[in-house]
Structure 1
Amino acid sequence: MPQDPTAPDPTPVLELLNAFRKSQVMFTAAGLGVFDALAGGPKTTAALATELSADPDALERLLGGCTAVGLLARENGGYANTPAAAAYLTKESPRRMLGYVNYSNAVLWKMWANLGDAIREGTNRWKQTYGWDAPIFSHFFRTEEMKREFLFGMHGFGLMSSPHVVAAVDLSRFTTFVDLGGATGHLAVAACRHYPGLRGVVFDLPEAIPLAREVVGATNVAARVDFAAGDFFTDPLPPGDVYALGRILHDWSEPKILKLLTRIYEALPAGGAVLIAEKLLNDDKSGPDWAVLQSLNMLVCTEGKERTLGEYANLLTQVGFEGVHGYRTPSPLDAVIAVKK
């Protein structure tokens, strides 16, 4: 049957039909250990099938899928990791995002299946999907290994974004950079590297601090970064003249954000600042893609969402901040900064 020349281009629909298949190619290969098995160099399908206890024909199809999506390359009659797979999908890489990749497959995938109910009800899907009543973050740290790999997954995001965030704003006049919910300390490290006169403090829950010490201790600015344990909603905040919130506010509702921003405002000296690192929605909320999809992810997972610069400005000015400025970056996070009167 000849194609109808008046029919719209079906490419967007076809690409979206294929999108979840591409994701599962990556998730499955990572879960089976394909990328770790290739960390030492190329291997044939037969060798990988033996090592991974997989059916050779089925594995060949998966390897072909990984090649098609840019994660593997054909080499010497076998398969090899591409640079992206080697950096982000192998256990020994310091830039690995494997923990977040596996979390996306094991946890988020099931929750996104209930997106329709989230849209109808306007609430996250933890109870529906898993029967969990406790705050979602308590489930990230059920075992030491889960905690470590989830934080390393977020660390991979941080290594991409944090240098862009601290370079987008001028922090040269500040002396102490306190990263609230700082996880592995990547934002504090990036700030100290970019501003030689700055000292950093990583503030997070007690169970996150040992890994932060380990990661920051291996950097060239370790001597300028301190650590403090606590809950930023209830415990005293370490003193500083700039407080950072990296991928924090999008987790929470407006009342909780106002509570946290008020605590920061009260802790800051006059002229101090708050730095927010989140991906900004366009004013009409039509994009960019990363922010729009992440906002849906926040609906499914949390009580928060992604916001426009105007929405952040409204929250900040309600508390008393002024001089709100937003800066787009080419990374997964943008920067918003505001100053205490």
Structure 2
Amino acid sequence: MPESSATTEHGALTPEPIHRVLLAYCGSKALMSAVELDLFSVLAQDGPATEPELRRKLGLHPRLARHFLDALVALDLLRADGERYANSPVADHFLDRAKPTCIGGFAEMTSDTFYPAWGRLTKALRTGQAQAPQPPDDEDHLFRVNAKEQPDRVRRFMASMDSHSTRIGDELAARLDWSARTRFADLGGARGNLTAVIAKAHPHLRGVCFDRPQSRPFFDEHIGRLGLSDRVTFQAGDFFADPLPAADVLIYGHVLHDWGPDSRRMLLDRAYQALPEGGALVIYDRMLDGSPKDLSKLMYSMTFMLASAGGSEYSVDECRDWLRQAGFARIDAQPLLHDHTVVVAHK
């Protein structure tokens, strides 16, 4: 009988599925704490270790340590070989801070911002208001972090985004016809990783990363390390107020879900006005398909609702409508990776 069944072999109802949902947060928080302790990086660097060894290295109390590690084994984040623990392949690839594929920065954001906000879901359901603390909108903050005081924290979050944008960039570079294009811009491009991936795949292209001025030092550092400073440049600005880069392809990736419908329409209007005839706008997000079974996307959508005043995921049909209202003609949509949709609109 599958574990997810709500009935016993005799047909009687069991509350087990409800118990699993009620305690799902336990696994989430165990992962967040493991990242905060840097457990996966320690195991990647030092190799498999026993529970007493990990207690000493991480400063863990003996009362919880064994169950904590065994829970991570049950979650397929660690492997146990006798008395020694090691990273599972997925944890080693995505949770070791020394690897460019690490998404630990997202785990930190989840622990500090999203997890507490979900704890106030009932209040949000009654008020419609975001429940995450809103950082100052000033020249010091990036991704809810003071970039001047905690630059490494910002780098870790940007690295977690890079892990995702590298895969998306590879897909966009392969799927779109770039042969007649010369210049493109990623709007809200952080430290320019998506721009770099596409530019590297198509040497004739010049790319622009458009973002707030406080992203510039992280861009210079990252693009300089990649050796693409001659073809990928940074333009500082606010995509609601400042002129957008001159380009024949503009990209909004993981941008529209941060804003409400009116702001989305404004961003699409501004992109349409900035593009030349024949230009294209590329949008990607975890777009909803209208099915309540699409649990992962719905949870992401509610997370953005809890974290921002107007954010949420949206459907492909809604995106098409906004693009038509902005003036775009041919609009194509297709699945991207395992849970995204990419929409390409032509002027």
TM-score clears 0.5: yes
Q: TM-score, normalised by structure 1?
A: 0.89
**Native 8 Å contact 1:140 1:150 kept in 2:** no
User: 2:278 aligned with 1:271, yes or no?
Assistant: yes
**Native 8 Å contact 2:135 2:144 kept in 1:** no
**Native 8 Å contact 2:124 2:130 kept in 1:** yes
Q: TM-score, normalised by structure 2?
A: 0.88
The 5 Å alignment of 1:153-192 reads 153-192=160-199
Runs of 4+ in 1 over 6 A off after TM superposition: none
Match of 1:74 among 72, 80, 85: 80
The 5 Å alignment of 1:299-314 reads 299-302=305-308, 303-314=310-321
- Cα 1:91–1:133 change in 2 (3 A) is closer
- Cα 1:76–1:192 change in 2 (3 A) is farther
Unmatched 5+ stretches in structure 1: none
Match of 1:104 among 106, 110, 116: 110
Shift of 1:218: 3.0
**Native 8 Å contact 1:273 1:338 kept in 2:** yes
- Cα 1:7–1:158 change in 2 (3 A) is farther
Moved more, 135-144 or 175-184: 135-144
- Cα 1:261–1:222 change in 2 (3 A) is same
**Native 8 Å contact 2:40 2:96 kept in 1:** yes
Count of residues paired in the alignment: 334
Unmatched 5+ stretches in structure 2: 1-6
- For 1:50, the equivalent position in structure 2 comes to 56
- For 1:260, the equivalent position in structure 2 comes to 267
C-alpha RMSD over aligned residues: 2.4
Moved more, 157-166 or 262-271: 157-166
Match of 2:327 among 298, 304, 320: 320
The 5 Å alignment of 1:1-341 reads 3=8, 5-7=10-12, 12-40=17-45, 41-75=47-81, 77-126=83-132, 130=133, 132=134, 134-135=136-137, 140-142=144-146, 143=149, 144-219=151-226, 221-282=228-289, 284-302=290-308, 303-340=310-347
**Native 8 Å contact 2:185 2:210 kept in 1:** yes
Q: Distance in 2 between matches of 1:44 and 1:194?
A: 44
- For 2:3, the equivalent position in structure 1 comes to none
Task: State the structure with bigger RCO (CA 8 A, min sep 6), 1 or 2.
Answer: 1
Q: Distance in 2 between matches of 1:239 and 1:315?
A: 22
**Native 8 Å contact 1:281 1:287 kept in 2:** no
Shift of 1:164: 2.8
Q: Which amino acid aligns with 1:102?
A: E
User: Matched residues, percent identical?
Assistant: 31
Moved more, 98-107 or 83-92: 83-92
Q: Distance in 2 between matches of 1:106 and 1:219?
A: 30
- Cα 1:318–1:37 change in 2 (3 A) is same
